[in-house]
Structure 1
Amino acid sequence: MARLLLYYAHPGQKFSHVNQAMWTAAQDLDGITRVDLYAENPRMDIDVDREQARLLEHDVILFQFPLFWYSTPAIIKEWQDLVLEHGFAYGSDGDKLAGKTLMLAITAAGPADAYSHEGYQRFPLRTFLTPLEQTAHLCGMRFATPYVLHASLRAPGDGTVEPHALGYLKLLGAIRDNRFDFDKAASQDILTHDTLPIRELI
């Protein structure tokens, strides 16, 4: 089994439909570590030693969050600034995360066709994730294809919340059980609930 660490970051949880459904679904899965960053750190007071210890104890680190102004919610940036220290995550002797995997599960308010050079967001979604991908690279980590739901604000009305949350549960379980094919996923720009490369149990 892979040791999976799930970080959840949503500053407005009571207004969330999709992310809350995803987080609720994740509670049904044994054998993974779940951390609600805003609940644990209401004053943004990140415990660096605790977080670094968590990272050392896990193989796959997955951040779940809604895309905020083309980036992460503020607490994830604060977490990065404090936890990914020189000498720990990068730089001289900073190889503690080498060989681990970083993955994202994100929701985007805009529809899929908005995230293109022709769409109103002007760039593919992966372009906005470049800083996180490069962070993983600098730390010697594999950056896995993200799990994405576009048009998340319309999701409650178009029936996509439940299949996306169920797909998320399948994704987490497959990662935990070493049945998720990261190499096959790498051929896709994003993953959705119906494009998950999960190996069957033998």
Structure 2
Amino acid sequence: MTTTTTGPGHPAGGIYLLAAHPHWRDSRVNWQLMQAARSVPRVEVNDLYSSYPDYAIDVQAEQARLAHAQLLVLLHPIQWYSMPALQKLWLDEVLSYGWAYGGGTALQGKDCWLVATTGGPERSYHPQSYNRYFFDAFLPPYEQTAALCGMRFLPPLVFHGARSASPEALAAHVDVFRQRLSTYPDWPELEDLAECASCEVPATDRPHEHTEA
């Protein structure tokens, strides 16, 4: 596994960053963001596509890393209005019933932060443009995933127009990202952020937890 850890070990209250990009060679922004994260103490960076090229995720290892972190960062490009395939598989397998939700409280009280990029400019995410919706319309699956696990969904950091942004704009964004990681959890806006909603799953909704739908 090519997971990279910075800082002394895996201290509780640290940051676990999942970087998911199927083609790093073509990445203009996410690669720089991942490298910036590796320079910040307390941040453990996992390049998912390098760690699991066969898509065989080590669920126990991933759950152990999550258990020791206070902040989970999802770093990836938006692909077809969602996340890359391996990132979705990670959620499916690691956030298991009885551990992350449905009576499981392993992630209760932790934070989840989406750091994403889009190829299209911000103006393309508008009812009068080709993406037809404001970008916020694509966030509910992320928000509800966090809520079901008892996590706070922090305001996302999104970089639009990754293909056409100027080098200066990109450098400024990377600096903001590095600063945010370095100062977590001392973000002023977190003081006013409500606790996540209670999303208890009734046992009657999962009478046979090992049976597929």
3-state secondary structure, aligned to 2:46: strand
**Greater RCO structure (CA 8 Å; 6+ sep):** 1
What is the CA–CA distance in structure 2 between the aligned matches of 1:182 and 1:73, rounded to whole Å? 29
SS at match of 2:99: coil
Alpha-carbon offset, residue 96 of structure 1: 1.3
Distance (Å, rounded) in 2 between the aligned partners of 1:174 and 1:102: 15
How far is 1:147 from its partner? 0.5
- For the residues of structure 2 that align with 1:112 and 1:102, how far apart are their CA atoms? 23
Q: For 1:29-40, list aligned pairs within 5 A.
A: 29-40=40-51
Secondary structure at the counterpart of residue 164 of structure 2:
helix
Q: Distance in 1 between matches of 2:42 and 2:101?
A: 29
When the two chains are superposed, the root-mean-square deviation of aligned CA atoms in Å is 1.8
1:52-110, Cα deviation, whole Å (9 max, x unpaired):
1111111110010000000000011100110111100111x212111111111000111
Question: What residue number does 2:108 align with?
Answer: 98
Moved over 3 A (4+): 184-187
Equivalent residue, structure 2, for 1:122:
132
CA contact (8 A) 1:25 1:169 kept: yes
Q: Which residue of the partner structure matches residue 17 of structure 1?
A: 28
Q: 1:168 aligns with which of 172, 177, 196?
A: 177
Pick aligned residue for 2:168 from 156, 159, 162 = 159
Q: Note if contact 2:13-2:68 (Cα within 8 Å) is conserved in structure 1.
A: no
The structure with more radius of gyration: 2
Work out the CA distance in 2 between the residues paired with 1:74 and 1:185: 33
**Percentage identity across aligned positions?**
36
Q: CA deviation at 1:17?
A: 1.1
Deviation at 1:184, TM superposition (A): 6.0
Matched positions, count? 183
Deviation at 1:186, TM superposition (A): 5.3
Q: What is the one-letter code of the residue matched to 1:78? A: L
Residue in structure 2 matched with residue 46 of structure 1 by the alignment: 57
TM-score of the two chains, using structure 2 as the length reference: 0.81
2:145 is matched with 135
**Runs of 5+ in structure 2 lacking a partner?**
1-11, 195-213
Aligned to 2:205: none
TM superposition shift of 1:158 = 5.5
2:155 corresponds to 1:145: yes
Amino acid at match of 1:133: E
> Contact between 1:56 and 1:97, CA under 8 Å: does it hold in 2?
yes
**2:120–2:160: 8 Å Cα contact kept in structure 1?**
yes
Find the counterpart in structure 1 of residue 122 from structure 2. 112
- Measure the CA separation in 1 of the matches of 2:109 and 2:147: 10
Cα 1:182–1:85 change in 2 (3 A) is farther
- TM superposition score normalised by structure 1: 0.85
Which residue does 2:188 correspond to in 1? 181
